[in-house]
Chains A and B, each alone.
Chain A
């Protein structure tokens, strides 16, 4: 009665699909390889050139796509369950807009290095999330108030960002704008380790919370009656959700819509009650892997930032969601 086959099956299929796209992506580029050659290179066989291209150049990017996609899927699941709203996502609490503000400030006043920009994004995003949480706090935080305050703060920061881009030095504005599209271009092994470690730690924390997220979905009183410390648990989940978003944004810039769409698509496929974390993570990894492969393929040899692909996919998703809800 407790264990159902369908979610496990869906997760397995999603993981396999993500890995299949990963193999394709590892073979894609100026130096094209067949899937067989890719697998041989990964196993340490094949030519030295193939191993260099696959393992040293392309593998980090693929691993980051999978990791960041999973992190975004998890973050979206946490926010949608907490706000009990399918439009809940890290964007609703203004994280990405705030991170963008942070990046603009850093590139204009400090400089334009990868780690400087990442630090600026982290400070801007976390600061915004904290301000939104505090403003939304009134005898505990309700999902709806969080969304409203988040939208208001995002709008204000959005216009501040515009003003910045118009006012500042063109080169700095251009650098920030490239970051603002969200891209995995140019990422290497140096970024894989910290991202993997942090995402791993956050996953352990999520596992330690057990099924509390789905109990919170039943309402504060029902969750409290079952022995969940509602306010502390909710704050804990918010921190984990923001941290997952922060890792992703610091590493690759703001990648939209994966967090929004992954939990909903996963739920429709698995038919789990409410939002489930593991399928959302698998779906997020698959979506970002697929998007990044498309970003490299569609206008090859020109590489698009993956953020552009996810925004387009997200637009289609939104239309689908609206049509579906209008029919009900």
Chain B
């Protein structure tokens, strides 16, 4: 169930984003990839999820080249929540989530009891069981994102990758989604990898951080060891203090301010 990148060079057309990148995704952990805009975090995630083929090097899934394996077989091992997906007109929540079962289906045996059970479990885990008969078009942004996550869960893969899953969600839905990821990670031992923007959320919910800058991985490890004021200054160019999160005792990044706001 391992996922790793070996000396990969990735980019689009002639523009190279990352060169000679190595990464071992820790099994059974929740890894967050962080870094400033355009540092290549989403590109790395696309490469790990075989949406982008490296121009050099290989991505290994269970020790074998991910591009050398049948697409459906890979989709039974590795699930992905992409940044943009389109819900077809007139599709209900249950129908959309059921599409996550495609990698498990064969031409002859289309829909099995296992499929049914996986969809029911995915709907329950994301708290959208009551919405199952609703049209996806009519849902709020937060509900819709949970439905897409449910579709990925219905795929029942030991590895789940999430590309900026909290974008477009309000703060309550962001926290809800991340806590859902942590629960899945702990209860079902799912290996999670998420690209996240919010440093505090990454430090709080992930147990492994991968920090990127200009296409390279500059630090990785336990958030408490990795998240330092020097690192934030170096990678993001932001002066800050790191304090203890009183709720979870994880690092909390407090940006320094140069304008000295008046109080009262």
Residue ranges of A at the interface with B (Cβ–Cβ < 8 Å): 1-3, 84, 139, 207-208, 210-211, 214-215, 217-219, 221-222, 224-229, 267, 271-274
Contact = CB atoms under 8 A, between A and B. Distances in A.
A59 B240 CA distance: 83
B84 A219 contact: yes
5 contacts: A1-B94, A214-B88, A219-B84, A225-B82, A274-B90
Contact of B85 (A214, A221, A273): A221
B79 A221 contact: no
Contacts of A221: 51, 80, 82-85
- Chain B interface residue count: which class? 35 or more
A214 B88 CA distance: 8
Contacts of B85: 218-219, 221-222
Nearest to A217: B88
Interface string B140-182: 0000000000001001000000000000000000000000000
Interface in B84-137: 84-92, 94-96, 98-100, 102-103, 105, 107, 110-111, 115-116, 119
Contacts of B110: 2
Interface string B58-87: 000000000000111111100111111111
A225 B75 contact: yes
Interface of B: 12-13, 49-51, 70-76, 79-92, 94-96, 98-100, 102-103, 105, 107, 110-111, 115-116, 119, 152, 155
Main secondary structure of the interface of A (DSSP, over half): loop
Contacts of B111: 2-3
Contacts of A273: 88-92, 95-96
B11 to A, nearest CB: 12
A226 B49 contact: no
Contacts of A208: 107
Contacts of B96: 273
Given A1-B119, A139-B13, A229 B88 contact: no
Nearest to B82: A221
B71 A272 contact: no
A2 B3 CA distance: 33
A267 B102 CA distance: 22
A126 B236 CA distance: 54
Contacts of A207: 107
A135 B82 CA distance: 28
A271 B115 CA distance: 23
